[in-house]
């Protein structure tokens, strides 16, 4: 599910700004960018996020917005600069390349400028950063819950549409054996050319037709899947994968019904059901 949150926290030394953004993803994928001085706390940040979010691609930015100069002094790595310039000269000579290396680009090369950390206790810094991160996380979760409430309404509406079509299919299927029997009788009369039908053979054919066209089990299972789907939506714990599995089973039952009953009207209803299932499949990828 999508969402965004931001937070700000400060202590006597620094001010931290946190931003969190989430987009749809089948699994939980977290990308975290922390200030270098707090890089050792990445697992703590990941654990904090994992307690409240279980699905989606989560991008986190935590920056020092004020007071960074108090945490360390910038140090120029002159030896590394010499090596970069030497490598550039070698490329120019060997491959006949032309062009100048801009100063701003050179200063952005990895490790050209580093910060000599002050050696102070990092825990107070992390607690301040954690507060900003928690604020952003709370906003993100609130936004995702709001989106989830709208999504829940849509899911339930589509399940209701599916159930209405299933009830109509059940009603139509009750007459299917009788209709097939009438077609069979007409075909037999034509083939026998007026001769008398064998009652026992006719009874056997009727039993076979009724068995072949019986979709009671499929309808019962479909109804069970619908109820489980609604229960999963109302559950408090993450149920996204369970919803996806139930939709797969609904799709399977719909295919079986279409194969069993040779009815254009039922076929059209099955197509509508499958369209709703596909739309539900897209939606459940977005929820936990």
Same domain, 266 and 159: yes
Q: What is the 8-class DSSP label of residue 13? A: S
Same domain, 108 and 39: no
pTM recorded for the entire structure: 0.61
Same domain, 23 and 127: yes
Alpha-carbon torsion, ordered 61, 66, 67, 73, to 10 deg: 60
Same domain, 105 and 214: no
Same domain, 106 and 13: no
* Interatomic CA distance for residues 233 and 93, integer angstroms: 66
Same domain, 10 and 101: no
Q: What is the 8-class DSSP label of residue 31? A: E
Same domain, 134 and 164: no
Same domain, 92 and 162: no
In the block, residue with structure tokens 């089990």: 217
Q: How far is CA 286 from CA 25, 55, 56, 163, 226, in A?
A: 7, 8, 8, 23, 19
- For residue 174, the enclosing domain spans 151-284
Which of 66, 59, 15, 7 is CA-nearest to residue 33?
59
Same domain, 66 and 78: no
- CB-based contacts of 113, cutoff 8 Å, min separation 6: 74, 75, 76, 77, 107
Domain count along the chain: 3
pLDDT of residue 239: 73
In the block, residue with structure tokens 């009652």: 199
Domain boundary among 142, 177, 195: 142
End-to-end distance of the chain based on CA atoms, in angstroms? 8
Q: How far is CA 56 from CA 31, 95, 133, in A?
A: 11, 46, 17
pLDDT of residue 211: 60
| CATH of residue 50 | 3.30.230
Q: What is the pLDDT of residues 224-264, one digit of tens each?
A: 999 999 998 888 776 777 898 999 999 999 999 888 877 78
Same domain, 201 and 159: yes
Same domain, 160 and 252: yes
Same domain, 34 and 95: no
DSSP percent split of the chain into helix, strand, coil, nearest 5:
65, 15, 20
pLDDT of residue 111: 72
Kindly list the averaged pLDDT for each block of 10 residues, start to end, along the chain of length 288: 90 89 87 87 94 89 74 71 87 79 78 62 88 96 89 92 92 72 65 63 62 79 92 78 90 90 86 94 78
Q: Do residues 40 and 129 lie in contact, with contact meaning Cβ atoms separated by under 8 Å?
A: no
């Amino acid at each position: 599910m999508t969402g965004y949150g931001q937070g700000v926290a400060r202590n006597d030394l620094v001010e931290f700004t946190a931003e969190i953004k989430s987009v749809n993803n089948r699994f939980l994928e977290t990308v975290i960018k922390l200030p270098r001085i707090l890089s050792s706390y990445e697992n703590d940040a990941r654990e904090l996020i994992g307690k409240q979010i279980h699905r989606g691609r989560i991008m986190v930015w935590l920056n020092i917005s004020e007071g960074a100069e108090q945490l360390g002094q910038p140090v120029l790595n002159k030896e590394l600069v010499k090596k970069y310039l030497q490598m550039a000269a070698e490329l120019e000579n060997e491959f006949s390349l032309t062009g100048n290396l801009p100063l701003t680009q050179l200063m952005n090369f990895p490790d050209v400028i580093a910060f000599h950390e002050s050696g102070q206790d990092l825990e107070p810094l992390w607690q301040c950063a954690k507060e900003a991160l928690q604020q952003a996380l709370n906003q993100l979760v609130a936004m995702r819950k709001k989106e989830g409430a709208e999504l829940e309404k849509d899911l339930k509406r589509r399940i209701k549409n599916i159930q209405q079509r299933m009830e109509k299919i059940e009603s139509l299927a009750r007459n299917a054996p009788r209709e097939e029997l009438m077609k069979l009788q007409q075909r037999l009369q034509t083939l026998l050319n007026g001769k008398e039908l064998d009652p026992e053979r006719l009874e056997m054919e009727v039993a076979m037709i009724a068995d072949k066209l019986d979709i009671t089990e499929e309808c019962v299972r479909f109804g069970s899947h619908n109820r489980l789907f609604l229960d999963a939506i109302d559950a408090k714990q993450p149920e996204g994968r369970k919803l996806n599995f139930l939709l797969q089973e609904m799709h399977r039952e719909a295919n079986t019904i279409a194969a069993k009953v040779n009815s254009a009207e039922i076929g059209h209803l099955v197509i509508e059901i499958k369209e709703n299932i596909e739309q539900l499949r897209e939606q459940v990828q977005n929820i936990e």
